[in-house]
Amino acid sequence: MSDHTHGHTGTHEAHDHHEHHQSFWSKYVFSTDHKMISKQFLVTAIVMALLAMFMSVIFRLQLGWPDHKFPILEKFIGSWGKGGKLDPNFYLALVTIHGTIMVFFVLTGGLSGTFSNLLIPLQVGARDMASGFLNMLSYWFFFASCMVMTAAAGYARLRIGNDVVVGEHGLVHRFSIARRN
């Protein structure tokens, strides 16, 4: 991975005279520049955090006022909030996805992705990351996983607890045996 443009020192004339014009795609989307990648991570993380925060508001409404109906829920989550009442299965999906998004997508991908990318090259005095391409790939894997997780949030059969897996077939039963022992 010894990319010749990212050496320790040297004059790097190539960089000074290399301000080629970039298209929108190569500048903002398929960028290998660590500063742009860190911005991509940050903005994606903020969007995901808002989504997870919105989920927490929905289930806090349920927990805080369990006997109350919130007709406005139907506007946001449709059939999962029929008659203003949160669907119990969807409640489990919501807390799970809230936790997953916050821990992995905001505080792992978002936090490390943003600040490691921004600060490591700038604070150690490097031109860029060791491999700009892998760095770009890292963001795109992150983006893809965000999309799949958002899709999973819409898939109400999904049920996984923080430390307990509960599936559709035999697992609930086995789980209860394990707990009694």
Partner 1 sequence: MTLWLVSMVLFIGSALLGGINYVVTVLNLRTKGMSMTRLPLTVWAFTITAILGILSFPVLFAAALLLLFDRSFGTSFYLSDIYINGAPLHYSGGSPILFQHLFWFLGHPEVYIVLLPALGLASEIISTQSRKPIFGYKAMIGSMLVIAFLSFVVWGHHMFITGMNPFLGSVFVFTTLLVAIPSAVKVFNYLATLWKANIVYSPAILFAIGLVSFFISGGLTGIILGDSALDINVHDTYFVVAHFHIVMGSSAIFGMFAGIYHWFPRMFGRMMNRKLGYLHFWLTILSVYGTFFPMHFIGLAGVPRRYYANTAYEGFSGIININSLISVFAILGAFAQLIFVINFFYSMYRGKKAVQNPWKSNTLEWTAPVEHVHGNWPGEIPTVYRWPYDYGKPGAEDDFIPQTVPYSQTKSSNLEGEE
* Least distance (Å) between residue 150 CB and partner 1: 9
Which of 30, 63, 78, 82 contacts partner 1 by CB under 8 A? 63
What are the b/e assignments for 1-21, b being 16+ CB within 10 Å? Answer: eeeeebeeeeeeeeeeeeeee
Q: Does 44 bind partner 1 (CB under 8 A)?
A: no
* Least distance (Å) between residue 107 CB and partner 1: 4
Sign of CA dihedral 150, 152, 156, 158: negative
* Least distance (Å) between residue 85 CB and partner 1: 10
Helices then strands, counting H and E runs in the chain, come out as: 8, 0
Site for partner 1 in 3-22 (CB under 8 A): 5-6, 8-12, 15-16, 18-19
Interface with partner 1 (CB under 8 A), residue total: 105
Q: Does 84 bind partner 1 (CB under 8 A)?
A: no
Measured from the CB atom, is 81 or 113 closer to partner 1? 113
Site for partner 1 in 99-118 (CB under 8 A): 100, 102-118
Site for partner 1 in 151-170 (CB under 8 A): 151-152, 155, 157-161, 163-165, 167, 169-170
C-alpha 84/C-alpha 80 separation (Å) is 9
C-alpha 112/C-alpha 35 separation (Å) is 13
Q: Does 72 bind partner 1 (CB under 8 A)?
A: no
The SS3 assignment for 87 reads: coil
The structure tokens listed for 159 are 């049920």
Site for partner 1 in 114-153 (CB under 8 A): 114-131, 134-135, 137-142, 144-146, 148-149, 151-152
C-alpha 83/C-alpha 91 separation (Å) is 15
C-alpha 34/C-alpha 118 separation (Å) is 6
Strand positions, DSSP E, the chain: none
Measured from the CB atom, is 78 or 161 closer to partner 1? 161
